[in-house]
A and B are shown apart, each in its own frame.
Chain A
Amino acid sequence: MRHLLDTQTLAREDALRILDVAEDMADTQRREVKKLPTLRGKTVVNLFFEDSTRTRISFEAAAKRLSADVINFSAKGSSVSKGESLQDTAQTLQAMGADAVVIRHGASGAPRTLATSGWISAGVVNAGDGTHEHPTQALLDAFTIRKRRFGDDSRGRDLAGVAVTIVGDILHSRVARSNVWLLDALGAEVTLVAPPTLVPQDVSGWPVRVLYDLDEAIAAGPDALMMLRIQLERMNAAYFPTEREYSRRWGLDPLRLRALGADTIVMHPGPMNRGLEISAEAADSPRSTVLEQVTNGVSVRMAALYLLLAGADDPTTEIPEETTR
Chain B
Amino acid sequence: MSETLLFRGALIEGTTAADVIVDGGMIAEIGPSLSRAGATVVDADGLVLLPGLVDLHTHLREPGYEASETILTGSRAAAAGGYSAVFAMPNTSPVADTAGVVEQELALGEAAGFVTVQPIGAVTVGQKGERLAELGAMADSRARVRVFSDDGFCVWDPLIMRRALEYVKAFDGVIAQHAQDPRLTEGAQMNEGAVSAELGLAGWPAVAEESIIARDVLLAEHVGSRLHVCHLSTAGSVDIIRWAKKRGVDVTAEVTPHHLLLTDELVRDYDARFKVNPPLRREEDVLAVREGLADGTIDIVATDHAPHPAEAKACEWHAAANGMVGLESALRVVQLAMVDTGLITWGDVARIMSREPARIGRLAGHGTPLTAGQPASLAFYDPAPRRTFTTDDLRGRSVNSPYLGRELPGDVRWTLHAGTVTVADGALLDTPGVRA
What are the residues of chain A within 8 A of B317 when measuring CB–CB?
A: 107-110, 113
Tell me, yes or no, whether B269 is within 8 Å of chain A by CB.
yes
Residue A269 at the B interface, CB < 8 A? no
- Judged by a CB distance under 8 angstroms, whether B287 is at the interface is no
Cβ < 8 Å to B, chain A residues 12-36: none
Distance A173 CA – B192 CA, assembled complex (angstroms): 16
Chain B positions within 8 Å of A177 at CB level: 198, 200
Residue pair B205, A201 in contact (C-beta under 8 Å): yes
Complex interface bits, A239-263 against B, C-beta within 8 A gives 1, otherwise 0: 0000000000000000000000000
Q: Verify if B314 is at the interface (C-beta below 8 Å from A).
A: yes
Complex contact B198–A109 (CB within 8 A): no
Contact A202 B197 (CB under 8 A): yes
Residue of B with least CB distance to A180:
B198
Contact with B along A128-164 (1 / 0, CB 8 A): 0111110000000000000000000000000000000
Contact A201 B270 (CB under 8 A): no
Q: Is A42 an interface residue (CB 8 A)?
A: no
Within 187-219 of B, Cβ neighbours of A (below 8 Å) are at 189, 192-194, 196-201, 203, 205
CB distance from B161 to the nearest CB of A (A): 25
Instruction: Check B194–A109 contact: CB distance below 8 A.
Output: no
Indicate if B41 sits at the interface (CB-CB under 8 A). no
- Neighbouring A residues of B314 by C-beta, 8 Å: 87, 117
Is B392 an interface residue, CB under 8 A from the partner? no
Q: Does A106 contact B (CB under 8 A)?
A: yes
Question: Which B residue sits closest to A201, measured CB to CB?
Answer: B192
Taking a contact as CB atoms closer than 8 A, the residue among A117, A133, A202, A206 that contacts B200 in the complex is A133
Question: How far is A112 from B314 in the complex, measured between Cα atoms in Å?
Answer: 12
Interface size class of B (residues with CB under 8 A): 20 to 34
> Which residues of A (110-126) have their CB < 8 Å from a CB of B?
110, 112-114, 116-117
What residues on B are CB-neighbors of A133 within 8 Å? 200
Give CA–CA (A204, B197) in the complex, Å. Answer: 10
- Is the CB of A74 closer than 8 A to any CB of chain B? no
Judge if B434 is at the interface, Cβ distance under 8 Å: no
Count of CB-CB pairs between chains A and B under 8 Å: 74
Interfacial chain B residues near A117, Cβ < 8 Å: 314
CB distance from B89 to the nearest CB of A (A): 27
Residue numbers in B under 8 Å from A112 (CB-CB): 269-270
Q: Contact check: which of B192, B193, B318 meets A107 at CB < 8 Å?
A: B318
Q: Which residue of A lies closest to B187 (CB)?
A: A237
Complexed CA–CA distance, A116 and B203 (Å): 24
A201 touches B193 (CB 8 A): yes
Q: Residue B34 at the A interface, CB < 8 A?
A: no
**Which of B189, B194, B270, B316 contacts A205, CB < 8 Å?**
B194
A170 to B, closest residue via Cβ: B197
Interchain nearest-CB distance for B432 vs A (Å): 39
Contact residues in B for A108 (Cβ distance below 8 Å): 189, 199-201, 270, 317-318
Say yes or no for A319: interface residue by CB 8 A criterion. Answer: no
Q: Does A56 contact B (CB under 8 A)?
A: no
Q: How far is the CA of A187 from the CA of B311 in the complex (A)?
A: 43
Residues of chain B within 8 A (CB-CB) of A8 are 198
Q: Once the chains bind, are A202 and B316 in contact (CB under 8 Å)?
A: no
A129 to B201, CA, bound (A): 11
Structural contact, B311 and A85, CB atoms closer than 8 A: yes
Q: Could you tell me the distance in whole angstroms from the C-beta of B311 to the nearest C-beta in chain A? A: 7
A202 touches B193 (CB 8 A): yes
**CB within 8 Å of B: which A86-107 residues:** 86-87, 105-107
Q: Whole-angstrom distance between the alpha carbons of A147 and B94 in the complex?
A: 64
Query: What residues of B have a CB within 8 angstroms of the CB of A200 in the complex?
Result: 196-197, 203
Q: What are 29 residue pairs bridging A and B, where the CB atoms are less than 8 Å apart in the complex?
A: A86-B315, A86-B319, A105-B316, A106-B318, A107-B317, A107-B318, A107-B319, A108-B199, A108-B317, A109-B316, A109-B318, A110-B318, A113-B270, A113-B315, A113-B316, A113-B317, A117-B314, A129-B200, A130-B200, A130-B201, A131-B200, A132-B199, A174-B200, A177-B198, A200-B196, A200-B197, A201-B196, A205-B194, A205-B198
Binding site for A on B (CB under 8 A): 189, 192-194, 196-201, 203, 205, 269-270, 311, 314-319
Q: State the 6 A-B residue pairs at the shortest beta-carbon distance, nearest first.
A: A109-B270, A132-B200, A107-B318, A200-B197, A131-B200, A110-B316
